[in-house]
Amino acid sequence: MLEIRNLHARIAEDGAEIIRGLNLTVKAGEVAAIMGPNGSGKSTLSYILAGRDDYEVTEGDILYNGESILEMDPAERAATGIFLAFQYPMEIPGVATMEFLKVAMNEQRKARGEEPLKISEFIARVKEVAGTLNMDMSMLKRPLNVGFSGGEKKRAEILQMKLLQPKLCVLDETDSGLDIDALKVVAEGVNSQRAPDRAFLVITHYQRLLEHIVPDSVHVLYKGQVIKSGDKSLALELEANGYAGVIGEAA
Ligand code: ADP
Ligand code: MG
Ligand code: MG
């Protein structure tokens, strides 16, 4: 489903290379964990997958279902089923969460050649999914993410994911800001959406999240490259011994 080949990317503004020859393959149905020390390029990778224009790809390719997405803008990527939940979700003052969800869902339907949802149908769907996340409908009248706590932001992201039913979900988690409730919201969101035709890239610094989401594969990102891949036991090894051993081996 996702194949990243020898990706090199730099910050557009100052030309600093952050991603330096990254290779990664994620199959449909797979949950892949991306781990790595702070500053290794995990969030940068998620921004590049989203298509943010602050980054330039200078070499390599990103294939989604066999086709390069490099020329696609962020809206096109979303329309083909790529979903990103960021470490720091964007606050959108002046746009009620409900309105944002409606636009997002209807844009996706438009891209698929479907009619917009009837308003009653839309509200019923949001209510149903919000209920599974213990989200109060009154929260959805507030502007998206503005003044939301860390946990509420995570709930809002998982709500979007459950409503949009994307195929490739990339979740960039805060390294330490998530309390156990927020971790469980994310984990339940991922676990309930696991499907043979859907893949997840779960980005995390600590093994803690992976106690709740058991990954099929674990990849260690360091200095913009995947330096080691393995199964879930690799996460446990990192938890026990830290990143130093794996970094030493790679060097
Ligand atoms: P991680 O998520 O693994 O902690 P990041 O992707 O946030 O790492 O950052 C990787 C490196 O790139 C860091 O050294 C960070 O300072 C740098 N970096 C990322 N984006 C920018 C940017 N827009 N401007 C300047 N430096 C950046
Ligand atoms: Mg970081
Ligand atoms: Mg990060």
The model's confidence at residue 183, banded by pLDDT at 50, 70 and 90, is: confident
Decide if pLDDT at 178 tops 90: no
Taking the centre of ligand 2 as the mean of its atom positions, its distance from the CA of residue 7, in whole angstroms, is 20
The string of pLDDT tens digits covering residues 58-77 is 999 999 999 999 999 988 89
Closest atom of ligand 1 relative to the 55 alpha carbon: 23
Taking the centre of ligand 1 as the mean of its atom positions, its distance from the CA of residue 114, in whole angstroms, is 39
Judged by its nearest atom, the ligand closest to the C-alpha of residue 44 is 1
By DSSP bridging, strand 67-68 and strand 55-64 are: antiparallel
The model's confidence at residue 208, banded by pLDDT at 50, 70 and 90, is: confident
In whole angstroms, what is the distance from residue 100 CA to residue 140 CA?
10
Question: Domain extents for the chain?
Answer: 2-250
In whole angstroms, what is the distance from residue 235 CA to residue 47 CA?
24
Taking the centre of ligand 2 as the mean of its atom positions, its distance from the CA of residue 127, in whole angstroms, is 34
The model's confidence at residue 111, banded by pLDDT at 50, 70 and 90, is: confident
The string of pLDDT tens digits covering residues 19-37 is 999 999 999 999 999 999 9
In whole angstroms, what is the distance from residue 128 CA to residue 244 CA?
45
**Ligand 1 contact via 176 beta carbon (within 6 Å):** no
pLDDT of residue 39: 94
In whole angstroms, what is the distance from residue 83 CA to residue 78 CA?
6
In this prediction the pTM is: 0.92
The string of pLDDT tens digits covering residues 122-172 is 999 999 999 999 898 999 999 998 988 888 888 899 999 999 999 999 999
Taking the centre of ligand 3 as the mean of its atom positions, its distance from the CA of residue 240, in whole angstroms, is 21
- Say which amino acid occupies 191: N
Half-sphere exposure at residue 118, Cβ-oriented, CA atoms within 13 angstroms = 3
**Ligand 1 contact via 205 beta carbon (within 6 Å):** no
pLDDT of residue 176: 61
Taking the centre of ligand 1 as the mean of its atom positions, its distance from the CA of residue 129, in whole angstroms, is 34
If one residue of 19, 44, 49, 225 were mutated to test the ligand 1 pocket, choosing by the most ligand atoms within 8 A of its CB, it would be 44
CATH fold, domain 2-250, is: Rossmann fold (3.40.50)
Q: What percent of the chain has pLDDT over 90?
A: 71
DSSP 117: P
Question: By 3-state DSSP, what share of the chain in percent is helix, strand and coil, each rounded to 5?
Answer: 40, 30, 35
Judged by its nearest atom, the ligand closest to the C-alpha of residue 45 is 1
Average pLDDT, the chain: 92
Decide if pLDDT at 175 tops 80: no
- Residue ID of nearest Cα to ligand 1 atom 7: 43
CA 250 to chain centre: 26
